C-alpha cells in the first residue's frame, strides 16, 4: 500500500478537535461540574503498611451526625475492585495491606469541615510485618499475597539458551534497576457519583477506560449493566494512571452517593493523588548475553522482575509487555526471558505509558552498550550486526512481516544528531578533564501497538457511526481523549474516508449509556485498532449511500449531506457499526507465550546528548533526536507532540523523578520535592518519521503513544556513561546519585 496522494486530511496538521474549548477554559473537567445539594467526599487512609484493623475512633468536636460515613460493611455486593482478578478491596475490611489504603469514606456539604473530620478519624491497628523490596518478596521473608508473593510469571523461550550459551566465545552479564515514577497528569483524579435504589449508579469522571469502571461498579453494587452508567468528562491526561484507579474512586464516590442519597464529588489534590494512586513499577533486570568474538548474538538469558505493590491490578499485563520487549529489535537464535511480578506492601503499582517496556528496554539498551565495550566494538556496530530484518524471528518466535529497516533509522538518527563527529569530539575534549564533560548515546528499540497476543481478539472492540440529514457524522466509541488526540484522529479518519470536511464530524462523549465498548484507551491502540473500526464504519455508511444510488463513487463533498437527507427520509436512520476481527494469519499461544505478540510494531532509534557538570553532578540533556517508523503519520503536529511529551517524561524517568519511600509510603509527594523536568530541562527535540504505511492500519497508521518512553532513558544513560565513564546501572541518576559515583571514581 502507498500513501494516498489525494488525501485531503491524512498527514495534515488538522486542528485539535477540542483545542478551542481547552484553551478558552470552556472545556468542562469533572471539578467544573456541580449538582444541586452536592456533597464532597474524602477518604480516611491507612497509616501503616500492613496490619489488622482493631478499632475506628471518631474524635471529639465534629458534628458526626451531619456526615455520611461509609465503611466496608456498607458495600451492597462485592467488596472488590474487579479488574483482572478480584483481590483488591474497595475499602479495607479487617486488614490493610499497604499505606494509604482506603478504610473509611466521609461526605459532607462543607469541604473544609470534611477535612477536619478526616483528621479526627483515628484507626487503631495491630501491626503485621511488611515487605518493601523485590528481594524480600522473592525471598518470601513474609508471605503477603497468595502462596508465594507472585502475581504472575512468564517464560519465553526460543531455541535453547543454555546449550547455546555454553558455546559462546564471550559472555557479558549485568543487572539493571529502574525506580517508580508518577504519571503526573495535569488534572488529578476526580469523580462525581449519583446513586439510588431506583435509578442505579451514574458516575462522571476523569478516566481512560469507561468500561473498566463500568465492570468494577457492577461488582461493587451487584447491579445489571444497564443500571450502571459511566461518563468520561474532559480528561487532563492519564498516561496509564487513569486505567486502574478511577474504578476505585468511582466506587468510593458512588458508595457515598448511595448512602447519602445525594450527588457526591471526590477530587484528589496533588498530594493525595501522588500518595495513593498507582505509579510505574520499579524493576530489576538481569542479563546474561553470549556472543561470538565479532559481536554476533548467540544467546540471551534475561530475568525481569517488577514490584507490583500490594494488589494485582494490571501488573500481569505490564509484566507481559515488559517481558516481550526485553530482547529488543535484535535477532538472536536462542533466547530465554523469565519474568515475574511480585507483591510488596506498597500502594499497588500500575499502568504507566509503555507498560513495562520502558523498564526492560532501559536494561537491554544499557546492557548492549556494555556488551559492545566488553567486545571492543562500537555500540553502533554491535546493534548493526544484530538488528532484526523482515522475515526474521523475534524472541517470542514472531516472524517480522513488516518492512523494518533499523539500519536506516539509525543512519538517519546519526546524521541528524551529528553522532559520529560528536562522539569523537567529546572523547577528545573530555580527556582534557574540564568541569563540563559531554557525551552522546543512543537506544534502538521497538514497541508493539495494541493489546498483546490474543488480547484484541478477546476484546472484540466495537465502534459505531451515524449520519444526520444535515450530513453531520457522529462517531460512537468508548475510546477517550486525554490529550493524545483521539478526537482529532477519529475526525481525520472519518472525514477523509467520507470525503467531507473535518467540522462535519462529531465525536460523541464517551458514556456507557450511548457508546459501544471500543476497548480501553491503552496500549497505543486507539489509532491503529479503533481508528480502523472508525474507517470501516465510515466506509459502510458511504457504501450504503452508493448502493442506494444516492451517491456515485468520486462524489463531491457537497453531495454528501443531500444524499444523507434523502436516505433518512426514505429508509430511516443512517447508521453503521464495526467490530474488530482478528486477522486469520495472526496466531498467539498463551501457554508457550509464543507467536504474533502484536499485529505491528513501531521501530525507533533515539539519540541523546548530555553535559555533566562534574562539580555539581548536574546532568543536562542538550540535544535530542527521535527517529521512528510508526506507519503513516495521520497528524504531524499531534504525532510530534506525542514524541516530545514522551521524551520529556523519559528525561524525568532517567534523571529526576525519584520517589522516596519510607515504610511503603511516598514521603516526597509534592511537586516541590518530587522533581520533574520543566521546560528549562527539556532540550530541542528533533522528531523525524520514516513513513512505511501499515496495510492493516487506518490510512496505513500504527500506534505511537507509548513508544517514545522506551528509548529515552537508555539513550540518556548511555550518553551519561559516555560523558563520565561511569557504568550507569540504575535510574534515576539524580545529581545526588551521580555525585557519589563521581566521587568513587575520582577517589
Ligand atoms: N498523551 C497525552 N497527551 N496524554 C496522555 O494521557 N497517554 C499515553 C499516550 N500519550 C497520554 C498520551 C498512554 S499511556 C497511552 S497508552 C496512549 O497515549 C493512549 O492513547 P492512544 O491509544 O491514542 O495512543
Ligand atoms: Mo497506556 S500505560 O497503555 O494507558
- What average pLDDT does this structure show over 180-206? 98
Partner residues linked to 600 by β-bridges: 449
Of 243, 316, 451, best ligand 2 pocket probe by most atoms within 8 Å of the beta carbon: 243
Calculate how far, in angstroms, residue 246's C-alpha sits from the geometric centre of ligand 2.
14
List of residues 6+ apart from 718 with CB closer than 8 A: 365, 366, 369, 379, 439, 441, 442, 443, 608, 728
- List all residues 6 or more positions away from 455 whose beta carbon is below 8 Å from its beta carbon: 523
Q: Is the CB of 645 under 6 A from ligand 1?
A: yes
- The answer to whether the CB of 351 is under 6 A from ligand 2 is yes
d(CA 723, CA 675): 23
The tens digit of pLDDT for each residue in 145-157 reads: 999 999 999 999 9
Residue 1, pLDDT > 50, answer no
**Does the pLDDT at position 537 exceed 70?**
yes
Pocket of ligand 2, candidates 240, 241, 452: which has the most ligand atoms within 8 Å of its Cβ, to mutate?
A: 240
Pocket of ligand 1 contains residue 354 by CB under 6 Å: no
- Measured from the alpha carbon of residue 314, the closest ligand is 2
The Å distance, Cα 255 to ligand 1 centre, comes to 30
Number of residues that this document lists for the chain: 747
Atom number of ligand 1 nearest to Cα 530:
22
Closest ligand (CA of 243): 2
Which of 189, 314, 353, 709 is the best mutation target for the ligand 1 pocket, counting ligand atoms within 8 Å of the beta carbon and taking the most? 353
Task: Give exposure, 248-278, as e/b (b: 16+ Cβ within 10 Å).
Answer: bbbbbbbbbbbbbebbbbbbbeeebbbbbbb
Work out the percent of the chain whose per-residue pLDDT is above 70. 99
CB atoms within 10 A of CB 324: 26
Residue 746: pLDDT band with limits 50, 70, 90: confident
Q: State the residue for C-alpha cell 491503529.
A: 528
Counting ligands in written order, which one lies closest to the CA of residue 488?
1
3-state helix, strand, coil in the chain (%, to 5): 35, 25, 40
CA distances from 599 to 308, 628, 644 (A): 27, 17, 25
Q: Does 526 contact ligand 1 (Cβ within 6 A)? A: yes
Is the CB–ligand 2 distance for residue 353 below 6 Å? Answer: yes
What is the average per-residue pLDDT within 76-85?
A: 96
**How many whole angstroms from 523 Cα to the centroid of ligand 2?**
5
- Whether 2 has a pLDDT exceeding 60, the answer reads no
pLDDT tens per residue, range 563-578: 999 999 999 999 999 9
Contacts with 199 (C-beta within 8 Å, 6 or more apart), sequence order: 227
Does the structure show a pLDDT above 80 at 514?
Answer: yes
Nearest CA to ligand 1 atom 9: 705
pLDDT classification of 374: cutoffs 50, 70, 90: very high
Among 351, 448, 482, 638, which residue has the most ligand 1 atoms within 8 Å of its CB, making it the best to mutate? 482
Nearest ligand for residue 707 CA: 1
Furthest CA-CA distance within the chain = 87
> Quick one: pLDDT at residue 286?
98
Under DSSP, is residue 620 helix (H, G, I), strand (E, B) or coil? strand
Per-residue pLDDT for 3 more than 50? no
Q: Which ligand is nearest to the CA of 356?
A: 2
Half-sphere exposure of 352 (CA within 13 A, CB side): 26
What phi-psi label fits residue 134: left (phi over 0), alpha (psi between -120 and 50 degrees) or beta?
alpha
If phi > 0 it is left, if psi is from -120 to 50 it is alpha, else beta; for residue 602 that is beta
Amino acid at each position: 500500500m502507498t500513501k494516498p496522494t489525494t488525501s485531503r486530511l491524512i498527514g495534515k496538521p488538522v486542528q485539535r478537535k477540542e483545542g478551542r474549548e481547552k484553551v478558552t477554559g470552556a472545556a468542562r473537567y469533572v471539578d467544573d461540574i456541580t449538582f444541586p445539594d452536592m456533597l464532597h467526599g474524602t477518604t480516611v487512609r491507612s497509616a501503616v503498611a500492613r496490619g489488622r484493623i482493631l478499632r475506628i475512633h471518631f474524635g471529639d468536636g465534629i458534628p458526626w451526625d451531619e456526615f455520611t460515613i461509609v465503611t466496608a460493611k456498607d458495600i451492597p455486593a462485592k467488596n472488590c475492585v474487579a479488574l483482572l482478578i478480584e483481590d483488591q478491596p474497595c475499602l479495607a475490611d479487617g486488614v490493610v495491606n499497604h499505606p494509604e489504603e482506603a478504610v473509611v469514606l466521609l461526605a459532607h456539604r462543607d469541604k473544609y469541615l470534611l477535612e477536619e473530620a478526616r483528621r479526627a478519624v483515628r484507626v487503631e491497628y495491630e501491626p503485621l510485618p511488611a515487605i518493601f523490596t523485590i528481594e524480600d518478596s522473592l525471598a518470601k521473608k513474609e508471605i503477603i499475597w497468595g502462596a508465594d508473593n507472585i502475581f504472575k510469571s512468564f517464560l519465553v523461550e526460543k531455541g535453547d539458551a543454555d546449550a547455546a550459551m555454553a558455546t559462546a566465545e564471550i559472555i557479558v552479564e549485568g543487572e539493571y534497576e529502574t525506580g517508580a515514577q508518577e504519571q503526573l497528569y495535569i488534572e488529578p483524579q476526580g469523580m462525581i457519583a449519583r446513586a439510588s435504589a431506583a435509578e442505579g449508579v451514574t458516575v462522571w469522571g476523569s478516566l481512560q477506560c469507561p468500561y473498566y469502571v463500568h465492570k468494577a461498579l457492577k461488582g461493587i453494587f451487584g447491579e445489571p449493566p444497564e443500571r450502571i452508567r459511566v461518563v468520561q468528562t474532559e480528561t487532563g491526561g492519564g498516561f496509564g494512571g487513569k486505567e486502574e484507579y478511577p474504578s476505585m474512586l468511582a466506587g468510593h464516590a458512588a458508595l457515598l452517593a448511595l448512602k447519602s442519597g445525594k450527588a457526591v464529588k471526590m477530587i484528589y489534590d496533588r498530594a493525595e493523588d501522588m500518595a495513593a494512586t498507582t505509579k510505574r513499577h520499579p524493576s530489576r533486570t538481569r542479563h546474561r548475553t553470549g556472543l561470538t568474538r565479532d559481536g554476533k548474538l548467540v544467546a540471551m538469558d534475561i530475568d525481569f522482575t517488577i514490584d507490583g505493590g500490594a494488589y494485582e491490578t494490571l501488573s500481569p499485563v505490564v509484566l507481559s509487555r515488559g517481558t516481550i520487549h526485553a530482547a529488543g529489535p535484535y535477532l538472536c537464535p536462542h533466547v530465554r526471558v523469565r519474568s515475574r511480578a511480585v507483591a510488596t506492601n506498597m500502594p499497588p503499582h500500575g499502568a504507566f505509558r509503555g507498560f513495562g517496556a520502558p523498564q526492560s528496554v532501559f536494561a537491554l539498551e544499557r546492557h548492549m552498550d556494555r556488551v559492545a565495550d566488553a567486545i571492543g566494538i562500537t555500540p553502533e556496530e554491535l546493534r548493526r550486526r544484530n538488528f532484526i530484518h523482515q522475515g526474521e524471528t523475534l524472541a517470542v518466535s514472531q516472524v517480522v512481516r513488516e518492512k523494518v529497516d533499523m539500519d536506516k533509522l539509525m543512519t538517519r538518527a546519526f546524521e541528524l544528531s551529528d553522532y559520529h563527529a560528536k562522539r569523537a569530539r567529546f572523547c577528545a575534549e573530555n580527556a582534557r578533564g574540564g568541569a563540563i564533560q559531554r557525551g552522546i548515546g543512543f537506544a534502538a528499540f521497538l514497541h508493539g501497538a495494541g493489546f498483546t497476543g490474543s488480547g484484541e481478539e478477546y476484546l472484540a472492540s466495537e465502534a459505531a457511526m451515524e449520519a444526520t440529514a444535515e450530513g453531520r457524522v457522529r462517531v460512537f466509541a468508548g475510546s477517550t481523549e486525554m490529550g493524545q488526540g483521539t478526537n482529532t484522529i477519529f475526525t481525520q479518519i472519518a472525514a477523509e474516508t467520507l470525503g467531507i470536511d473535518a467540522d462535519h464530524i462529531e465525536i460523541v462523549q464517551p458514556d456507557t449509556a450511548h457508546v459501544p465498548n471500543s476497548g480501553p484507551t491503552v496500549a497505543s491502540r486507539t489509532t491503529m485498532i479503533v481508528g480502523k473500526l472508525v474507517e470501516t464504519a465510515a466506509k459502510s455508511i458511504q457504501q450504503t449511500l452508493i448502493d442506494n444510488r444516492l451517491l456515485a463513487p468520486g462524489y463531491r463533498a457537497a453531495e454528501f449531506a443531500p444524499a444523507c437527507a434523502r436516505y433518512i427520509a426514505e429508509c430511516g436512520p443512517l447508521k453503521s457499526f464495526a467490530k474488530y476481527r482478528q486477522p486469520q494469519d495472526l496466531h498467539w499461544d498463551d501457554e508457550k507465550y509464543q507467536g504474533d505478540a502484536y499485529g505491528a510494531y513501531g521501530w525507533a532509534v533515539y539519540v541523546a546528548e548530555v553535559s555533566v557538570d562534574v562539580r555539581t553532578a548536574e546532568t543536562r540533556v542538550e540535544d535530542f533526536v527521535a527517529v521512528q517508523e510508526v506507519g503513516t503519520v495521520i497528524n504531524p503536529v499531534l504525532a510530534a507532540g506525542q514524541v516530545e511529551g514522551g521524551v520529556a517524561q523519559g528525561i524525568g524517568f532517567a534523571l529526576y523523578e525519584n520517589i522516596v519511600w519510607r515504610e511503603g509510603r511516598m514521603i516526597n509527594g509534592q511537586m516541590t520535592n518530587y522533581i520533574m523536568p520543566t521546560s528549562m530541562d527539556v532540550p530541542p527535540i528533533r522528531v523525524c518519521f520514516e513513513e512505511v504505511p501499515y496495510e492493516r492500519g487506518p490510512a496505513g497508521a500504527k500506534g505511537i503513544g507509548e513508544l517514545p518512553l522506551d528509548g529515552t532513558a537508555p539513550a540518556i544513560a548511555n550518553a551519561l556513561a559516555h560523558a563520565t565513564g561511569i557504568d550507569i546501572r540504575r535510574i534515576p541518576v539524580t545529581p545526588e546519585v551521580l555525585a557519589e559515583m563521581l566521587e568513587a571514581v575520582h577517589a
